[in-house]
A and B are shown apart, each in its own frame.
Chain A
Amino acid sequence: MQAKTTILNLPTEEFVQPGTRACTGCGLAIAYRIGLKALGKDTILVVPPSCLTVLQGLFPVASTKLPCLNVTFASTAAAASGVLATLRALGKDNVRVAGWAGDGGTSDIGLQALSGAAERGEKFIYFCYDNEGYMNTGVQRSGTTPIGAVTANTPLKGKLQNKKDVPAIMAAHNLSYVAACSAAYPLDLYDKIKKCIDMPGTKYFHIHIPCPPGWGFDPRYGIKIGRLAVETGYYDLYEVVNGEFKLTAASEKLVEKRKLTPVRDYFRAQSRFKTLTEQQISDIQQAIDAKWSGYYKKDEE
C-alpha cells in the first residue's frame, strides 16, 4: 500500500494566491488549492466558465500561479487537446495539462468534447468539481444535481430526475484512471492525483464540492456536510484503475465498519432538500443500502 500523504508532509508551495474571489466556505477553494499542489508547477490549466473563473479573479489580477487558458463552456477537453498537441509539436514533454471544469461544463455542455478527447486518449487530467448545479449563474439544476434538490429552476418540487453518473460514463471509455473524490477529503484527492499523474491517456476526477449558498447551509459546515455525504454512503470515494473499481479512504473504512449514518442526516442539514418527503428519503436510503450491500458482498469474496 502506498504511503498516504498527511497534513505534515503535504508540500508547502502554494499555487493559489490568498484572497481569491471564492465564496466563504467554498469547497472548490480547498480542492483547487490541494489539487494544484499535487499537479505541481509544470502544469498548464484549461478552465471554462464556472465558479472557478470567478475564484480566479478579474483581469488583470489572477489568483492562480500556473499558466491558465480560459476557454468557452463546451471546449475544455478540446482545448486541453490543443495545448497537448502544441507541447508535442514543440517537444515540451515535461509539461502537464489539466482541465478543471464544473459539473455543468462537464456533465452537460462539455461532455461531447470530453468524450471525444477521452476516446482519442489525450493525455491530460480532467477535473470535474461537482457542486451539483450551475452555482455561478445562480443555482440552476445541472445533469449532476441529485434528485429532490431544489434549485432556481426546479423551485417547487426539486429536481425530478436522478444525478447523471459521469465517472461511470468516463470509466466506460476504458480510461486508465477514474476517481471520485470530495473536498472534505483533500488528502485522498492529493494522493489520487499523484498516483495517476503519469498514467497513459485521459484521467478523470469527479470531486464532490459542498456549496454553502447553493445547497443552503452555514459556510462553517462545508467539511461536515461533505463528510456526511460520504459517511451516509450517499457519495462514495473510489478509484477505477484500468477498469478495477476500489473504494478509497473513508468509504473504504465504511466497508469494514458496516455501519452507515442515516442519509436523512445529510438531507436535513441543507435547505435544498427541504421538499424531500419522508417517503422519498426512505426510498433513497433503500437504494443506498442496496448499493452498499453489494460492496459488503464484494468484500467477503
Chain B
Amino acid sequence: MHIIENGNVAAALGVRLCGVNVIAAYPITPQTPVTEKLSEWVEAGEMKAEYIPVESEHSALSVCIAATSAGARSFTATSSNGLLYMHEQVQWASGARLPIVMCVVNRAVGAPWNVWNDQQDSISQRDTGWMQMYASDHQQIIDTVIKAYYLAEKTSIPIMVCYDGYILSHTYMPFEVPDADKVKAFLPPFKPDYALDPNDPANLNTVTLPDVRMDVRGELAHGYMEIRYLLQEELRGALAVAAETEKRFDEIFGRGGDPYIEPYLCDDAEYVAVGLGSVTYQLRVAVDALRAEGIKVGVMGIKFYRPFPDEAIAKALKGRKGVIVYEKALSYGYEGALASDLKSALYDSLAGTGSMPYVQNFVLGIGGRDIKTHDLTETLRAATKGRVAKEPVWIGLKL
C-alpha cells in the first residue's frame, strides 16, 4: 500500500509492523510525532504494546534496556539533547548487548538552544558501540526500522535509525507501507538467548574484573576486556550480517541494493560527493547540473555509518580524483567525523597504490542553516578543481 505521510509516521508504521512489545519515550522536538502516533495506536487498541510515558530520556532508554533484558522487543526515539541525556544508557545498552532500536530524529544540540536539523547529536554518539544507519527518504525510514530489528537481534547489538529533523521528519512524501505478512516472514519473533526469569535466575551486568575469572563450576568466564573485545569483533562482523539482511529484505520486499552505500551516477565519476542522510539527495541536483556541463561527478550516500563499511567505501572510491564530504556535524577541534573516517578507510586500503583521492571536507546546514542547492553546485564545482582547503570549509557562513 502506498501512502503519503511524514517521515515520523513512516518510522512509527515501521515500529508497529515489527510487533514491538514495549515503547518508552519522552517528548522532544522533532521526534514527538513518532511517539505521539505510537501512543495513539496503543491507546486505541490498534497496536498491542505497552507504552510507557516516562519522565526523561534517560528513563526512556532505561525502560527499553530493562524491557529487552526481560525478553521484549522495545523501541524509543529521541533527538538532540534528549540523546545526549541518554548517553550513559546508550553505552549501557550496547555493553549489555541488547538489540534495541532507537530512532534519532537529527537535531542540533545546545548551547545555544536550537531545534533545527543538523547531525551533531547522533555523530556525538558514534563511539558508543551502537550501529548507526542513516535514511535519506521516507521509504528508507520505514524499511530501515524493519531491517534494524532483524539486524540488531541477529547480532545482539542496538541500532540507531537516524533521519534528518524536519527535512524528513515533518515533510510529506509518498512511500510504500510493507505488507504485514511479509514483515512477519522477514522478522521472526524475538527470542533472546537469555531473559530475566525467576525459573532460571541470573545476575546481569554485575561487576566484572579486568581479568578472566572462574565460575563456581571451575569454567573460565570473560573479564571486562574480553567482553568489550567481543563487542568490537561482533560489531565488525555485523557488516556481513547487514549484507545478509539487505539481501533477505530484497528477496521478500523486492527493494534492495548495496547494504552500506547508495551511489548516484558514481560509475564513471572522477569526483564523488559523500554525505549522510537527506543532503545526499539534494546533492543529486548539483550533480545533475555539473554533469550537464560535462564534469564527471557522482554522489554517495552512506547508509551504514557504524560499524563503518571501510572496505566497501574504499573500494567504491578507489581511483577517483577527489572525495568531497558534506557534513552536518563536526568532531570539534578537528574536522568532520565522516571526513576523518573516510580518510582512514582510504589510507588503509589505498596507501602506496597511487590511486588515493584527495578529500575535501565541507560543513553545512549547522543548526538548520538553509542548504542552498546553488551553494552545493558551486562548492562541488570548486572542489572538482582540486582540494579547496585542508581545514573544513563552512558553507553558508555569514560572519
Contact = CB atoms under 8 A, between A and B. Distances in A.
A113 interface: yes
B71 A86 contact: yes
B370 interface: no
B66 A80 contact: yes
A66 B67 CA distance: 17
Contact of B55 (A53, A59, A119): A119
B89 interface: yes
A85 interface: yes
Interface in A64-94: 64-72, 74-75, 77-83, 85-90
Nearest to B24: A82
Interface string A80-111: 11110111111000010000000000000000
A145 to B, nearest CB: 25
Interface residues of B, number: 47
B206 interface: yes
A39 B210 CA distance: 34
A44 B200 CA distance: 11
Interface in A25-84: 41-44, 46, 53-54, 56-62, 64-72, 74-75, 77-83
B207 A58 contact: yes
B41 to A, nearest CB: 15
Contact of A113 (B55, B71, B200): B55
B142 interface: no
Given A69-B66, A85-B22, A59 B207 contact: yes
A72 B93 CA distance: 11
B66 A120 contact: no
Contacts of A68: 201-204
Nearest to B209: A58
Given A86-B71, A90-B21, A67 B56 contact: no
B208 interface: yes
B72 interface: yes
B72 A86 contact: yes
A69 B205 contact: yes
Given A68-B203, A72-B89, A81-B63, A116 B215 contact: no
Contact of A72 (B49, B62, B202): B62
A116 to B, nearest CB: 3
A44 B52 contact: no
B54 A81 contact: yes
Contacts of B203: 56-57, 59, 62, 64, 67-68, 70
Contacts of A53: 206-207
A82 B21 contact: no
B69 interface: yes
A59 B209 contact: yes
Contacts of B208: 58-59
A83 B196 contact: yes
Nearest to A21: B207
A176 to B, nearest CB: 20
Interface string B340-375: 000000000000000000000000000000000000
B28 interface: no
A137 to B, nearest CB: 13
B382 interface: no
Given A86-B70, A90-B72, 7 more contacts: A41-B198, A59-B209, A70-B203, A72-B88, A86-B50, A86-B66, A89-B22
5 contacts: A61-B216, A66-B198, A78-B60, A81-B62, A116-B59
Query: What 7 A-B pairs have minimum CB-CB distances, sorted nearest first?
Result: A82-B66, A116-B55, A78-B59, A62-B203, A75-B62, A78-B62, A86-B70
Interface of A: 41-44, 46, 53-54, 56-62, 64-72, 74-75, 77-83, 85-90, 95, 112-113, 115-116, 119-120
